[in-house]
Amino acid sequence: QTVVTQEPSFSVSPGGTVTLTCGLSSGSVSTTNYPSWYQQTPGQAPRTLFYNTNTRSSGVPDRFSGSILGNKAALTITGAQADDESDYYCVLYMGSGIWVFGGGTKLTVL
């Protein structure tokens, strides 16, 4: 069974740039996996950042960007701010109607 992989944790300095990735345990991520990205803070519902690889959801600042980098989907934050400290999840379409979330990345801004 294919697993969606994300870095368990990442740290970035305020004002810095960080790229979180979303891969597959077997194979490469492409646009046909329709990668989407979500931000979640403790006790809150997820917030949609991107869908269909790089389509920004309403209200998401343009310092966030979505892309395919090599064989993975990527979420890049440029000019990180303190309130970007959150859990970030990706989800991929695996075909046959099935979606699979990654395990999430806990981002620390310090």
Partner 1 sequence: EVQLVESGGGLVQPGGSLRLSCAASGFTVSNNHMSWVRQAPGKGLEWVSIVYSGGSTYYADSVKGRFTISRDNSKNTLNLQMNSLRAEDTAVYYCARGANSGTYLAPGSWGQGTLVTVSS
Residue 14, SS3? coil
- Please identify which residue in 5, 10, 30, 47 interacts with partner 1, judged by CB under 8 A: 47
- Please identify which residue in 34, 54, 68, 85 interacts with partner 1, judged by CB under 8 A: 34
Query: Does 59 interact with partner 1 (rule: CB under 8 A)?
Result: no
Q: Which residues pair with 48 in a beta bridge?
A: 38
- Please identify which residue in 29, 80, 91, 107 interacts with partner 1, judged by CB under 8 A: 91
Residue type, 67: S
- Distance between CA 75 and CA 57 in Å, rounded? 13
CB of 72 to partner 1, least distance (A): 17
Query: Does 30 interact with partner 1 (rule: CB under 8 A)?
Result: no
